[in-house]
Structure 1
């Protein structure tokens, strides 16, 4: 079977949602799963497929649902699932389709990553440089899937189970497992650099594997409160490289599809932040937001730009300024030099040109108090603006101690910066998996 048709069939299969990690294929004439994962070409196609799936279905779920919950976006259609997300609080039911989409897409990408990790050492055992690339790639996307679940859920599986009985672990244990996967990927790549063929066929020219891995190491260590480790990983990232997910008319930008094409959401003015958090003249306002404005429910909503206003626009895997802000946060939280933290903050604030993705704040240097609390608030502000719609605001809102939503109001007023802390577990999981824990209160 030719690579192209094999990839197409496998990718079509992966677009189906799963329940408790159970795979269902609808094409009886396509290759069974074992035929896909027990050939060299099948494994390479699987690696390409997991990146494609994560960058479309995965990112759509990770950006739009938590984006609405953390007030970056406002749901503006009459679809019930969108209205439930917008209301938040106890009005968000366990059968919400967007929450289920986030849960199932992360588990789907985890399944695919696990198969790379399991089968690459068997199928390409005589090709160490191809094997190292495929396994490290699997480690990365499994870790990314775990981190995606940790963004929105208190507990989740870190190993899929085809018998629909996956066990759950707490976020801390899950993130610890994700960091271990990424650490293992770094060690594997150092011992055996991937082949030119792997780099060309799987990564392409827009994905620098080691820098992506180290950025996620920094991100997840920060979420765990391991600040020296976060700083070390951030320092290992080459800020001159550029990694991005690519899209075409046939493989469209998933946020553009939800916000502009389907018009299910619109971005809030001032990035959905409290009054005074966004400075006049911030260059990122014009980068991400445009007119015409509309007023919905008393709120001013903007027209989306940035990485999301064209069907074929690329989305960064991470932004270099996230790494700078991770450094600043790690320094502050670990009791390091506040002057060094200000240097990192100013590298973001004062950038007038030259950002790899064109996100330039062009602001004056920081002039506020040089104290732990003041600088952490400044980091939060800069992250919220710089990393707009990168799927990070909900986690940031919790980590930086922003006001929690009330448990006795339904819906949660838009004066609150987020309308949930964590999502309830989808009915689709609870009905088939007896290990599903109790839902969080809010």
Structure 2
């Protein structure tokens, strides 16, 4: 990736597929042949190097939080179809129900990588707080907090209860509190940045990420997911939609989604309608369909994923402008006294949008009301499902919008056996 141009000193907790959970192997993060990580993190250079590792754990390869969250939500939310039943973790998720158990490596890698990101981010934040250059420090804190918040949000999306602290036998809290922990981390970072604005020196190292804008976008997302609609609206209104933040890739660190799609041996979009049917089926003229999918192959072309899996170097947005607009629409619609007029105005900004900084645009005629609250919420769900296709957010949306279990492969995920074996506080698995 292009965000930092320095060598990472990130120390791995073994290979992520080993049978040990991140929450239980914290002491193994440190390589005994080197100085301890805490001792090493006494300079901005060392802290920046660890931040590279945080970034890589979140975004790169098949053990990353990014890939596994997209795959898990894609199968559970009927966005993806399995191409090869020899891919056992994907087969379990594609089958759904009790076929998905604690042995699933997609779930374990997502769980373990998320907790690893949280742990390493905490170390960077603690080290940055001790730096003399407070402006560079606030940049570091803001940057790794993006990944920390995303990881807290990810585990809160897929599991009913989650750990928000790292260590041995850590307690679990509700997923709503997991989202709130992400918001607290964001607030802490924004306060540090407000007190000591990010230095130009730090900003030039992350040219593809507007840190403040991204933190506010994530705060709006997790406020919405935790039912804090007034807060979600306030934060969404503070996000600039003409500046994009993205995970960028190059020839050495490629887009993992493209790698999987190019093989045409794991998964592809479930169909040309992105898995939506009936009242939720996309309009045939919706330009987002041709953005996210295309037909290829011989002698009979089949559906392939385009969009943010298009090439080895295609950037993947951290958030889409359309997501922020749809957060506004939903927040208006879900207020104690619903504001359906403004909800429709915001929804139509997405429906009629002809371009944005990432090229996602429906370019459809405006919807004409009046609509009831239930009708407009259904329309918001429909357009979130299209606008945010393969973003890892579908399962959270399905639950929040009251979609029946029959439309999902799983409602919540079972806990990895590695976590259950090492942490006696691990809750019982959900029935579905």
TM-score (norm 2): 0.91
Q: Report the counterpart of residue 163 of structure 2 in structure 1.
A: 157
Are 1:119 and 2:127 an aligned pair? Answer: yes
The C-alpha deviation readout for 1:52-73, integer Å capped at 9, x for no partner, is 3212211011111121111111
Are 1:82 and 2:83 an aligned pair? Answer: no
Q: Report the counterpart of residue 137 of structure 2 in structure 1.
A: 131
Q: Report the counterpart of residue 152 of structure 2 in structure 1.
A: 146
The C-alpha deviation readout for 1:319-341, integer Å capped at 9, x for no partner, is 00100000000001013431211
Query: Does structure 1 retain, via aligned residues, the 8 Å contact 2:11–2:31?
Result: no
Quote how far apart the aligned CAs of 1:7 are: 3.1
Quote how far apart the aligned CAs of 1:311 are: 1.2
Q: Report the counterpart of residue 174 of structure 1 in structure 2.
A: 178
Q: Report the counterpart of residue 288 of structure 2 in structure 1.
A: 284
Q: Report the counterpart of residue 385 of structure 1 in structure 2.
A: 386
Q: Report the counterpart of residue 411 of structure 1 in structure 2.
A: none
DSSP 3-state at the match of 1:271: coil
Query: Does structure 2 retain, via aligned residues, the 8 Å contact 1:140–1:185?
Result: no
Quote how far apart the aligned CAs of 1:5 are: 11
Select 2:116's aligned residue among 103, 108, 129.
108
DSSP 3-state at the match of 1:225: coil
The C-alpha deviation readout for 1:255-309, integer Å capped at 9, x for no partner, is 1222323631111111111234211110011101111389xxxxx9621111102
Query: Does structure 1 retain, via aligned residues, the 8 Å contact 2:124–2:141?
Result: yes
DSSP 3-state at the match of 2:7: helix
- Following the alignment from structure 2 to structure 1, what is the Cα–Cα distance between the partners of residues 378 and 221? 18
- Following the alignment from structure 2 to structure 1, what is the Cα–Cα distance between the partners of residues 13 and 416? 22
Are 1:61 and 2:68 an aligned pair? Answer: yes
> Quick one: structure 1 residues 275 and 34, their matched pair in 2 at CA, closer, same or farther if it must change by over 3 Å?
same
Quote how far apart the aligned CAs of 1:184 are: 2.0
Are 1:7 and 2:14 an aligned pair? Answer: no
1:179-218 aligned at under 5 Å gives the runs: 179-201=183-205, 204-218=206-220
- Following the alignment from structure 2 to structure 1, what is the Cα–Cα distance between the partners of residues 266 and 378? 31
Q: Report the counterpart of residue 271 of structure 1 in structure 2.
A: 274
- Following the alignment from structure 1 to structure 2, what is the Cα–Cα distance between the partners of residues 194 and 60? 30
- Following the alignment from structure 1 to structure 2, what is the Cα–Cα distance between the partners of residues 355 and 14? 41
Q: Which runs of 5+ in 1 are unaligned?
A: 295-299, 405-415
Are 1:305 and 2:306 an aligned pair? Answer: yes
* Alpha-carbon RMSD: 2.2
Quote how far apart the aligned CAs of 1:26 are: 9.4
Query: Does structure 1 retain, via aligned residues, the 8 Å contact 2:12–2:29?
Result: no
Q: Which runs of 5+ in 2 are unaligned?
A: none
The size of the alignment, in residue pairs, is 416
Query: Does structure 2 retain, via aligned residues, the 8 Å contact 1:120–1:135?
Result: yes
Greater shift in the superposed pair: 52-61 or 307-316: 52-61
Quote how far apart the aligned CAs of 1:121 are: 1.5
> Quick one: structure 1 residues 425 and 301, their matched pair in 2 at CA, closer, same or farther if it must change by over 3 Å?
farther
Quote how far apart the aligned CAs of 1:134 are: 1.9
Quote how far apart the aligned CAs of 1:360 are: 1.1
Q: Report the counterpart of residue 100 of structure 2 in structure 1.
A: 92
